[in-house]
Copies of this chain bind each other. A is one copy, B any other.
Amino acid sequence: MPDIDETHDISRPPWVASALSHPVFPLQNLPFGVFSTAAEDPRGGVAIGDEIFDLKRALEAGLFTGPARDAAAAAAAPTLNAFMALGKAPRAALRKRLFALLAEGDEAAPARALSATLLHRADACTMHVPAAIGSYTDFFAGIHHAYNGGVRNKRNPPLLPNYKYVPVAYHSRASSICPSGTPVRRPNGQRKRVDESAPSFGPSRNLDFELELGVWIGPGNALGEPIPIARAGEHVVGLCMLNDWSARDVQAWEYQPLGPFLSKNFGTTISPWIVTVEALAPFRRAQPPRPEGDPRPLPYLWDEADQAGGAFDIGLEVLIRTTAMRDAGVAAHRLSASNVKHLYWTLAQMVAHHTCGGCNLEPGDIFGSGTLSAPDRSGWGSLSELSEDGTTRIELPSGETRTFLEDGDELILRASAQREGYATIGFGDCAGRIMPALALG
C-alpha cells in the first residue's frame, strides 16, 4: 500500500497528552474541520485527542513552508472548499508537517512552545459544516439495504434490473446539511396510508435514519470532461458519517416518478471532521469479488487498481438514546453494527459514473454512499429494515420499544477503522435529536 508512510507510525507518540492512544483522534488521524470558539469566528482546525489544533494561528506563527503552507492557508479558512480544490500532493504534505509538529521530537519544538495558543479544548468549541457544499449526491450503493427494500416491497427478484449495472444515485439537498448536534425537527408533509382514500398533511409518522458514509469531493472536473475511473480516486478528499434522515410515509406517497424529495430534504446530519483518504490508507482493501452470476461492471467502471485496493474496512455503528434513557443517565443503546466493506460500488466507481456524461463535480461537493446495511439483521442500517416497515417492534434495554423514531430520540452514527499494527481511526459522532413537529395552522 504505497500511501502508508511515517504518518501511520504508531511508535511515534504525540506530545499532546490527550491524543496518546486516543480512540478517535490519535496522532495518525489528523482530520480537518471548521470550528469556532466563543471569542472567534469559524476557521479551519485539526482534531488531535481532545483538542483542536488551530491552523490559522499556526499559519500566523510561521509553522509551515512550501506546499504544506499553501495547504495550511486553504485549510485555515472558514470553509475548506479551496483546500479540497488542491488535490492530494499539498494535502499529504500538510499531513506530514502536522504529524511532525504534533509528534514528540525536535521538529515539534516550535508548536509545543506555542501550545497554549495553538490548542483549543474541543468540548469548548462549536463545529461547523466544513465546506460551502455546492451539491450533495446520494448514492444507493449499500446492496443489502436495496435488497431489503425490494423484499419489503414484495419485488421478485428484490433488486431492480439496473442495480448491478448502474451505481444508482439521485441529487439530494445541500442547503439542509447540518453538523452533528444540530436538533432535527420532525417534518410535516403529505402522507397517505394504503387504507386512506386521500392524503393528509401532518407530522411524519414514520421518521427514520439512514446509516451512510459521506464522501468529500475535490478537486473535481470541468463540465463535459468526465473523470476516467483510473483517476477517480484523486477526487476523493476524505470521509465522514452521514445520516440521511427519512420520512418514510412522505417518501412512499411522493416518490413516484421522480424520486425522494421532501422526505429527505428537511435535514441531513454529518460528522464535522473530514477524515482524509491519507489517514485511511491502512484500511483500504480489495473490493470483494461479485457473487457468481453478477455482471462484470462496464468498462468505464472497471479499473484493476481500484478493484485491488479501492474499498475500505471501516466499522460502523448506530446508537439510540431515548429521552427516558437520557433522564435515567443510561448510555446509548447500539441498534446496529455494519461496515463500509458492504458497499457494492467503490468510491472511484461513484466518481466515474457521476461524471461519465460530463456532469461537473466541484470542490466541496459531498456524496452519500447509500445506507450501509450489513447482510444480517444485526447490521441493518435503518429502522424501516430493523422494524420491517413498522411491523416488528424493536426492544430497547430501557423497556421501551420503537418502530420508527419518536420525539426526543437521539440517534448517533459512529465509525472506527481498526487494524493490527495501526492506530485506530475514528470519525467522531454524527448525532441528532428529534424535536417535535411544528404545530399546524
Q: Which residue in chain B gives the minimum CB-CB distance to A136?
A: B171
Would you call A422 an interface residue if the criterion is a C-beta within 8 Å of the partner chain's C-beta atoms?
A: no
Q: Which residue in chain B gives the minimum CB-CB distance to A201?
A: B298
Q: How many copies does the complex hold?
A: 2
Contacts A170-B260, A255-B257 aside, 8 further interface pairs with beta carbons under 8 A come to: A140-B258, A160-B256, A175-B362, A176-B223, A176-B360, A185-B358, A259-B259, A262-B354
Which of A116-124, A186-194, A319-327, A383-391 lies at the interface?
A186-194
CA distance in complex: A357, B438 (Å): 9
7 A-B residue pairings within 8 Å (CB atoms) = A170-B170, A171-B171, A171-B265, A198-B295, A199-B298, A224-B438, A266-B359
Q: In the complex, what residues of B have CB within 8 A of residue A15's CB? A: none
Would you call A173 an interface residue if the criterion is a C-beta within 8 Å of the partner chain's C-beta atoms?
A: yes
Which of B166, B187, B300, B359 makes the CB contact (< 8 A) with A173?
B359
CA distance in complex: A300, B166 (Å): 38
Which of A34-42, A246-254, A402-410 lies at the interface?
A246-254
CA distance in complex: A175, B140 (Å): 21
Is the Cβ of B254 less than 8 Å from the Cβ of A166? yes
Would you call A353 an interface residue if the criterion is a C-beta within 8 Å of the partner chain's C-beta atoms?
A: yes
Would you call A172 an interface residue if the criterion is a C-beta within 8 Å of the partner chain's C-beta atoms?
A: yes
Is the Cβ of B174 less than 8 Å from the Cβ of A357? no
Is the Cβ of A262 less than 8 Å from the Cβ of B198? no
Q: In the complex, what residues of B have CB within 8 A of residue A295's CB? A: 198
Contacts A298-B199, A300-B201 given; does A188 touch B356 at CB 8 Å: yes
What is the distance, in angstroms, from A427's C-beta to the closest C-beta of chain B?
A: 23
Q: In the complex, what residues of B have CB within 8 A of residue A192's CB? A: 162
Contacts A255-B257, A258-B259 given; does A359 touch B265 at CB 8 Å: yes
Contacts A171-B173, A198-B165 given; does A259 touch B262 at CB 8 Å: no
CA distance in complex: A171, B223 (Å): 19
Which of B135, B169, B261 makes the CB contact (< 8 A) with A170?
B261
* A225-258 interface with B by 8 A CB criterion: 226, 247, 250, 253-258
What is the distance, in angstroms, from A441's C-beta to the closest C-beta of chain B?
A: 8
Is the Cβ of B298 less than 8 Å from the Cβ of A187? no
Is the Cβ of A357 less than 8 Å from the Cβ of B140? no
Is the Cβ of A260 less than 8 Å from the Cβ of B262? no
Q: Main secondary structure on chain A at its contact with chain B?
A: loop
CA distance in complex: A359, B174 (Å): 10
CA distance in complex: A138, B259 (Å): 12
What is the distance, in angstroms, from A81's C-beta to the closest C-beta of chain B?
A: 12
Task: Give the size of the chain A interface in residues (CB under 8 angstroms).
Answer: 64
Is the Cβ of A357 less than 8 Å from the Cβ of B247? yes
Residue positions of A touching B, CB distance < 8 A = 134-135, 138, 140, 149, 160, 162, 165-166, 168-176, 178, 185, 187-190, 192, 198-201, 204, 223-224, 226, 247, 250, 253-262, 265-267, 295, 298-300, 353-354, 356-362, 365, 438, 440
Is the Cβ of B358 less than 8 Å from the Cβ of A174? no
CA distance in complex: A200, B295 (Å): 12
Q: In the complex, what residues of B have CB within 8 A of residue A140's CB? A: 257-258
CA distance in complex: A201, B302 (Å): 13
What is the distance, in angstroms, from A379's C-beta to the closest C-beta of chain B?
A: 22
Is the Cβ of B224 less than 8 Å from the Cβ of A185? yes
Which of A169, A171, A440 has the largest number of chain B CB atoms within 10 A?
Answer: A171
Which of B185, B260, B360 makes the CB contact (< 8 A) with A258?
B260
Is the Cβ of A135 less than 8 Å from the Cβ of B175? yes
Which of B259, B260, B356 makes the CB contact (< 8 A) with A201?
B356
Which of A261, A299, A440 has the largest number of chain B CB atoms within 10 A?
Answer: A261
Contacts A173-B135, A298-B199 given; does A250 touch B357 at CB 8 Å: yes
